[in-house]
Amino acid sequence: MLSIKTTLGDEFDGQVVTFDRPSNILVLHILLSQPSFISCSAFSSHSC
């Protein structure tokens, strides 16, 4: 379980699903305690 705060100020908890070391990609299952919107732009420079 991870507690994450983005550079945009969003905070959420997540569980690690998998991590690929060569590409440095982390896949999380985001656990929301209340309805919220989390923009994928907070995590990547690519559009979703």
Beta pairing partners, 11: 5
Q: What is the mean pLDDT of residues 20-30?
A: 89
User: Is 48 inside any structural domain?
Assistant: no
Under the banding of pLDDT at 50, 70 and 90, the label for residue 47 is very low
Q: What is the mean pLDDT of residues 1-19?
A: 87
Under the banding of pLDDT at 50, 70 and 90, the label for residue 34 is low
Q: Select the more confidently predicted residue: 25 or 38.
A: 25
User: Is 23 inside any structural domain?
Assistant: yes
User: Is 47 inside any structural domain?
Assistant: no
Sign of CA dihedral 42, 7, 2, 38: negative
User: Is 38 inside any structural domain?
Assistant: yes
pTM of the model: 0.49
- Please tell me the total count of domains within the chain: 1
User: Is 25 inside any structural domain?
Assistant: yes
- Tell me which residue range forms the domain holding 24: 2-42
